Each structure stands twice: as C-alpha cells, then as structure tokens.
Structure 1
Amino acid sequence: MATTHDSTHPAAAHVPGTMDATAQQQTFAGFVRFMAWAGGLSIAVVIFLALAGA
C-alpha cells in the first residue's frame, strides 16, 4: 500500500525540535511524583501488615 504525503497538511510544516513540551514535562513530573508516593505507601502498608502479623 503506497502512501502519499500532502504538502498542504499542517503536519508537513512541522520543524523538529520546535514544539513546546512544557505541558508534557509537567505531566511526566507529576506522574513520577505520584508513583513515588504510591510506591512508598505500598511499602509502608506491607511493613505495617508484617508488624501487625496479618
């Protein structure tokens, strides 16, 4: 299947490296922060369960 590229399409004018990725970087930082808290909380729950003899 052959593909054709339409030069009038807005993506054809994109120049690599010019996109503002601030929102993506903030989202990723929030995700990493959330996963760190979730991991810490999970470890705390496991320790609590071990100490409580569950």
Structure 2
Amino acid sequence: MAEYKHGEMDISVQEKTFDGFIKFTIRSIIFIIATLLFIALVNG
C-alpha cells in the first residue's frame, strides 16, 4: 500500500459534484419559496 501524502489526491471530480449539489439545492429552495409565496398570494 502506498504511503499517504496529504494534498496529493486529485479532487476535481469531487469538487464538481459538490458544486452541482449546491447549485441544485439553491435552485430547489428558491423554487419552493416561490411556490409557497404563490400559494399564499392566491389563497390570501
């Protein structure tokens, strides 16, 4: 087994996945808030 050296691993794929997850989460939250506001305005 190779000896572990901190900071040598290529994490570009993990960074792209995390960025995509964050973008999806933010867009989902915005959509949910907009939907709730729409429902509140229509039923108000």
Return the TM-score normalized by structure 2.
Answer: 0.88
Which structure is higher in RCO with an 8 Å CA cutoff and minimum separation 6?
Answer: 1
The alignment of Structure 1 onto Structure 2 pairs a total of residues equal to 44
Identity, % of aligned pairs? 34
Unpaired segments ≥5 residues, structure 2: none
Return the TM-score normalized by structure 1.
Answer: 0.73
Unpaired segments ≥5 residues, structure 1: 1-9
Give 1 or 2 for the bigger CA radius of gyration. 1
Point out the structure with the larger helix share.
Answer: 2
